[in-house]
Every structure is written in C-alpha cells, then in structure tokens.
Structure 1
C-alpha cells in the first residue's frame, strides 16, 4: 500500500527532511502508467472551474531552498504557481529513460518545485493502483488502460468483507468525471449527495450512485480537455506521440463491488447505496480522446460475472 502522508505541517517537514521520499520515484519505471494517471487526475482537478472544492487535498510541499517553509501551503493556496510546477513535470514515458538522479536533475532545471510536487502526487495517493497486464485484463471493456484499484483503507475493507459474508455482493459501475478522482483516491468514495461535492442531481435520494449498465455510468464520466505540457523547450505534439498522460481527452469509469443488502436501492438500472462502507472500488478503466467502451455491458450477465471473478482470482493468486 502506498505511503499516505499526514497534512499537518510538522509531519510534512519530518516527512521530507528525513528523506522518507528520497527514492520514491525510483519505482516509476515499473509503474509509469500509474504515475501518468495520478498526474492526469491532478491536472484535471487543478484545471477545473470547481478546483476550490474538488482539488482536495491541496499539496503540502517543503520549499527546497528553505526547509523551514512550505512552498505549497494549503493555508496559502496559489493555483497559478501549482499549475506552473505541474506543467513542468516530465512525461513518465520520458522519465523511464534515465536514472533517478538524472530525472531529478532534469526536473530541477525546468522548475525546482516540479520534482517535490511529483513526490507529493505519488506519496499522497492512499489507494492501491496496479496496471493490469494484457493477459489479466477484462476484454469486454475494450481499453488497454486497465488498473486494479483498491481505494478502501484496511478497516473499511474488513467491514466490507464482514458485510459480504452476511448479505453477499455483486458488481456495478460508478462513473465520475476524471477531475473528481484526485480527491477520491485520497479521501475515498464518499456519499456526495446534497453536499458541495455533488455535480449531478440526486433524483433517487442520498447515496453513492451505481449502475450494472456501462452506458449509464459512462454518461457520468464526462470529458476533459488537457493543456499540453511544455517539456525541455519543445512543444509536445499530440499526433506524434502515444504517451498516455498527454491525451487531451480522458474518460474513466470504475467497476465496484457492492453489498447486496436491503440498504441497496435499485431503481431499474440506477442503484443507490446510502452506506459508503458497502461500496469498494475494484477496477478502473481509462479511455483516451473521448472514446468509451461497449455501452451494452451488463454486470449481471453470467458471462460478465465469470470474467470479473476470473480476473479477481488471478490477481489474488
């Protein structure tokens, strides 16, 4: 499980000055696309018109020139400076071509806050994300960008498993705009109904909205345009690169496991779960350039359920 970081200033100072994160990016080569995804989510939240609400948490990053001060401080937010540092973060596809020392040297030349920000993006992620190899992907989702996503802390996962023994479970999709996932990965999937986090209506009451039908959840995933970064003095040209991070449009949807207790309210193909502990993310799918997968997937079909369980068993073996 990735290291989670306390946002209290004393903890932040100890975290960085003791060198806890000194080698974190050394593992980038084995998880390049995961880091690409984390950066893309961060960028989407930062570029959103709702950033004051959904860009949560805001980074706590020690000033590399003054270890007693914070360069990025939640109490003194500067979205413009944060955007500048984020634009300077190199594509992970390029990062994998050099050693960790060389990576840091190149990033420091672009912006002295770029590397510390990348460290924070990686370390503040509280979810367990693993890119699935092609042999272990769900073929019916029609994307190569598939991830195992476990966003529940151990205590919640334990409560979920207890409830599953009592009531059983099934699978359903949860669609949310990519700009929301920066917060979801760090704060968990929460009941946003009737709160400032709510983006869509809550026609069927308060709870986490899910659907067994892919097209319904895809409808909530939205579409987001990304500004292209400026790397090493060269404009990146989208048509000339296949880098995951630099796609201008990303859609995403999660496949969740949900407890089938009487609390789960089914309104046709729209399900509402008012108990956050009864929903756990299992898989995450990303589509580039605004494309989406098969709109007719139904998680309640036996063949779909068999495929999901096959992949889950493979991952745990």
Structure 2
C-alpha cells in the first residue's frame, strides 16, 4: 500500500508535467525550465521581453487537492483546486505585469487559444466566439438542471469573478432510518448538499469539477448564497468529498486541446456532458444519467450516503461488520490514517449532546484495558493513536500505547489505564472547551498529548448506536441506565426481518411472531469489543470468555439469573465518572432478539443454527439470527430480579426500531 501511494504521487506529478508540456506546446513563449519530482514542483518561464517565471507545487493527490503558485520572488499567487492550464490562467488574471489582457479579462494567449479551439482555426471575431462558448455551456447547464429526474434537487449559477459555474446537488434525508440518522448526526428534515465548481470552459478543455463543500441544510436553501450546515457531520463530509472527487477524476474524460465545432444539434443534446458516468453499480443508475451530469451527481451522492457505513472510511473495502457509523477496516494503515487525518467524530459535539453515552464508552475502554493488565487481552480493536513528538517540545513520554515499537504484539495496558483515568469528567471537559474543540485539545494536551487523540478514538471507534431510553419508556426492574442499542445497519436489519417473517410464516418455532427475546450477560471488559464488532461466535478462540459447554455459539439465556452469572465482577470505576453515580464500577447485560427457527443450519458447522438447552440456555451459531436491542448498565453489586424472563419484559412499542 505504501509503494502504491508513492506510485500515485509520482504518477500525479508526471500527469501535471504532461499537461504543462502540452500547454507550452500551444503557448510557445512558455517553457519548462526545471522540475523536481521529489518536491513535486516545476517552473515555467516566459521567454519574451517579460522573462517572468512561475513555480508550480503539485499536490500528492493531483488533480484533486491544490496547486500552489509562486512568482519569481517567491511570493504566493494563489492556491486553488485547478488544472495546470487553469492555474496558469488564474495567475495571469491577477498578474497585470505579466501579460496584456484580452477583451474578456483573459490573457491574450488564452483568449486566442480559446478562439481557435471554438472556431476550428477559421477566421472570425474573437469577441463573438468567447461569449458564444459560454452561452452554449450555460444552455447545457440549464437544460440538464431542468430535467424532470432531478427537478428540485439541483441548482446552478455563474460566478463571473472566478469564471466558474457554481453547481449544487442535494440528497434528501427523509428516507434515512431514524436511528441511522441520529448515529450520523443528520437531520432527517434536511438534505446533504454537495457544492461543485465547474469551469465555464468545461465543454472545451478542462479537468474535472472541484468539490468545494459538502454540508447539510434545508433543501429550501439550495439556491441561497450562504447556506451552511446546521449540524456538524465531521468525517462524513470528508468521506463524501473524497469519494465524489475520486469518481469525478476517474470518470470525467479530459479533452485537453480537443477542437470542437459546435452545432445547433450539439446544443440540443448538450454535447460534452456525456463524459461523466459515476462509479456506482449499474442497477443504481437513473436511466440515461450518463448524458446528464446533474442526474449522475444526484445518483452518486445518494449511493454514497446510503452505503457510507458499509465501506472502509479510508480504502473503500467492505467492512467485516456493517455498523451504524463510519468506520475503518481492520488494516493498521487505515486505522492509523484515519487517526492522522483527524477523521474521528466531533468530540465536543458528542460530549455536549451525548454525555451519558460518552461516559459509558470511556468506562468500557477502561474495563477492557484493566482486563489486559490482568492478563486477558480483550481490547479489540486496539487504540491506534500515535503522536508526533516534534509537535510537543519537551514531552518525553510514550508516543503510543504499545510496548516497544508501534504495532508490536505487546500492548501497554498500564499506560492506557493511566491515561483514561487522567481524563476529566464529561461536564468538566465541556466546561474546559468553552465551546471550542481546539481549546479542549489544548487543555488535555497540557496534561498529556495522548489524552485528546485517545478520547477521540474512544468516541469514534464505536460502530454501534447507543441512545438513552427516555424516562417515560424505561422498562420496569432494569435500572435507570437503559440504552437502545442498534449495532446492525439497515441492510443487515433487513435480512433479519426477512428471516423473522419467514420463520413466522412457516411456523418454524414456538413463538407466533417469529422471534423471542433472550438475555446476554458478559464481563465488563468484553463490551468494548462487542460495541465495535457486534455479538460474535467466539467459541474456541482466544476471545472466548466462558467456555463452550453446550457447543459453539453466542450464549444467551431466557432468565436473568443465568446471565447475571456471566456478567462477573465489576472493574475499578473511572475516576471521572459522574452520570452512573456509583463507586463499584459497572456490570452490563443486553436484551437480544433471536429468530425462532430451530430448523436452520449453520453454513460454517453444518449443525443447527439455534440450540435450546433445557428451555433456558440458547446458543446461536448463525450471527444473522440474533440482534441486540437494548443495553442495561447496573452498579457492580447488582443482583436484580433474577426470575425475570427476557420474553416477559414489557418493551414499549415506541422503542422498537424505527
């Protein structure tokens, strides 16, 4: 992967140089006088009486990313997401001493080239040709925006100062599931809006559009000048921007220097826009959207929003567990990259809006690390934090949470426990921030540079969605700390409901609705992993915690007393804990829904997927047959109503998944 990354950097530099050579071939006063592949820079020098030079610094992700331009004195001219040709054009626009300007505010060389391109080299009036090309582009935009397939979801205008079309496409969020919207901090009454900048010469010879911003706002503000997010969407913004830029770069054919003889027939079919076809599965295409950039962008945005929790945030590989939140795959490089890019959640938002959940996640990480100190490693996944020592002069402590080299087999559990215990309480951290996450980072860095990235990882690595049960809906006899736990994404939930309906229709079990509830109790240190990986069949693996007396499977029980025995003792409490109000730590138990189908067969073992032992212990081998519904946190000395049957819990209809 590292070699591939280096290869991409070299290839991108070569692409930029190739564009520069083409540019020099057309503008004979310019030539490449030097280049440095390692620094990704090259210099264009003008050979006429002006004898000026411009230094180009190309981003590693070119043509996305930015180009930095500097004049002969090293003064920065601009930093824009532009192609080489557009970047030079942009620089010359602002550099009056470098060239005379044509009648349309463009460098004379650029105007002549554009005129020749449009007129096919034939004679004509420059003042007539340039507006003609713009008018054709504008008519194409208008025709595509008016397409009934995207009506109300697109908007465009022209910015004369930057000579760009400002294009916005929207993905309404009304159809996004309630809990998934909450997990992603999305307002279902809003839309995700992608704003792109497209050159007015896009029918001629330009690179792909630039994704200027991704934000959420009411769809009614699509045409507003300053519409911006009412909710912060953090890593989702980065993910969508990155994937849309990648699709545009891959699918937008770059017709540099291609001469077009436009005709009225071309205008009618909007020639030139057929170059974009987004990388989404064929069945997701709006019919004919390859001839309409707006339809293609709407479809691409909708597809990426719908699948964002099923693919790795960094490499786009399918996730082994499709959860409710953005996540990385199991590769160390992806985990480290996400941490380095700061793609975790909005820490301050989580602390302010979900204080109880934030405290619970901190406690569970502490319990997993404490278990590791005791000799049992259940900290899965491991914290990938690695800080840059040069950013913290005078700091001599560890840079990560491994013993020895980063990524070694031995984890530094004592240091992790120490750092978690150093975190202030949730209300204290909110107060320290004064409404600014950067201020909170500074405050935590003064205690240890490891604290803020550790906190961000704790909050962002949780793939499940936890939401406190409203007081009026709490289930009797199960304490004050009840959470709706949604660990599976809509696709997996859909499969679960289909199998449940089939079991109900076929009468495969003993319950008329096709499913029943069971308890799952597990040691406090295990829940850090469960919330990030889901309930797994860990029988006969190093993560197995309670044996497999009744064969492999996920062990659950019909009666609370059985599961209480599996919760075991509580760990030492978090010193910063405030919401759970006890000094004995926490123990946890979940209420699970199991499909009542004893006739199913495990694809792994070939044995029945569901095994009922003495009508009490239920082992589930097929992980698709079980789903967590609620999580209950109790004081460490909890005994509870030991005779309470899971299927007798009165679950309010309002709490079932929406």
Contact persistence 1:251–1:292 (CA under 8 A): no
Instruction: Report SS of the residue matched to 1:48.
Output: helix
Separation (CA, whole Å) in 2 of partners of 1:295 and 1:22: 39
- Give the counterpart of 1:158 among 482, 491, 494: 494
Separation (CA, whole Å) in 1 of partners of 2:618 and 2:456: 37
Instruction: Report SS of the residue matched to 1:45.
Output: helix
Q: 1:70 to 1:249 in 2, by over 3 A?
A: closer
Deviations 1:142-185 (A, max 9, x none): x1111011122444323212211111111111010110011111
1:88-107 maps to which residues of 2 (within 5 A)?
88-98=422-432, 99=435, 100-107=437-444
Separation (CA, whole Å) in 2 of partners of 1:70 and 1:12: 16
Query: Which residue matches 1:234?
Result: none
Instruction: Report SS of the residue matched to 2:454.
Output: helix
Q: 1:152 to 1:102 in 2, by over 3 A?
A: same
1:86 and 2:410 matched: no
Instruction: Report SS of the residue matched to 2:477.
Output: helix
Query: Which residue matches 1:257?
Result: 593
1:167-186 maps to which residues of 2 (within 5 A)?
167=503, 168-186=514-532
Deviates more, 1:5-14 or 1:21-30: 5-14
Query: Which residue matches 1:295?
Result: 642
Separation (CA, whole Å) in 2 of partners of 1:247 and 1:264: 39
Pairwise CA RMSD = 2.6
Q: 1:193 to 1:13 in 2, by over 3 A?
A: closer
Q: 1:247 to 1:33 in 2, by over 3 A?
A: farther
Separation (CA, whole Å) in 1 of partners of 2:468 and 2:652: 18
Q: 1:204 to 1:140 in 2, by over 3 A?
A: same
Q: CA deviation at 1:194?
A: 1.9
Q: How many residues align?
A: 299
Contact persistence 1:173–1:217 (CA under 8 A): yes
Separation (CA, whole Å) in 2 of partners of 1:64 and 1:256: 43
Contact persistence 1:107–1:115 (CA under 8 A): yes
Query: Which residue matches 1:44?
Result: 367
Separation (CA, whole Å) in 2 of partners of 1:246 and 1:82: 22
Instruction: Report SS of the residue matched to 1:53.
Output: coil
Q: CA deviation at 1:112?
A: 1.0
Instruction: Report SS of the residue matched to 2:446.
Output: helix
Query: Which residue matches 2:459?
Result: 122
Deviations 1:38-85 (A, max 9, x none): 111111111115655311111111314458x97344436322332232
Query: Which residue matches 1:237?
Result: none
Separation (CA, whole Å) in 1 of partners of 2:561 and 2:654: 22
Query: Which residue matches 2:198?
Result: none
Q: CA deviation at 1:244?
A: 2.4
1:224-239 maps to which residues of 2 (within 5 A)?
224-226=570-572, 228-229=574-575
Deviates more, 1:128-137 or 1:48-57: 48-57
Q: 1:121 to 1:170 in 2, by over 3 A?
A: same
1:204 and 2:550 matched: yes
Q: CA deviation at 1:219?
A: 1.4
Separation (CA, whole Å) in 2 of partners of 1:63 and 1:211: 44
Q: 1:144 to 1:227 in 2, by over 3 A?
A: closer
Separation (CA, whole Å) in 2 of partners of 1:104 and 1:285: 31
Query: Which residue matches 2:618?
Result: 271
Contact persistence 2:348–2:430 (CA under 8 A): no
1:310 and 2:641 matched: no
1:203-222 maps to which residues of 2 (within 5 A)?
203-222=549-568
Contact persistence 2:483–2:632 (CA under 8 A): yes
1:4 and 2:327 matched: yes
1:25 and 2:354 matched: no
Q: 1:244 to 1:290 in 2, by over 3 A?
A: same
Separation (CA, whole Å) in 1 of partners of 2:444 and 2:584: 22
Q: CA deviation at 1:265?
A: 1.7
Query: Which residue matches 1:280?
Result: 627
Contact persistence 2:553–2:619 (CA under 8 A): yes
Instruction: Report SS of the residue matched to 2:431.
Output: coil
Separation (CA, whole Å) in 1 of partners of 2:551 and 2:441: 49
Separation (CA, whole Å) in 2 of partners of 1:57 and 1:171: 28
Instruction: Report SS of the residue matched to 1:183.
Output: helix
Unaligned stretches of 5+ residues in structure 1:
232-240
1:183-198 maps to which residues of 2 (within 5 A)?
183-198=529-544
Contact persistence 1:12–1:62 (CA under 8 A): no
Deviations 1:101-126 (A, max 9, x none): 44323222211111100100111111
Separation (CA, whole Å) in 1 of partners of 2:328 and 2:348: 16
Q: 1:95 to 1:251 in 2, by over 3 A?
A: same
Separation (CA, whole Å) in 1 of partners of 2:635 and 2:534: 24
Separation (CA, whole Å) in 2 of partners of 1:92 and 1:163: 41
1:54 and 2:378 matched: yes
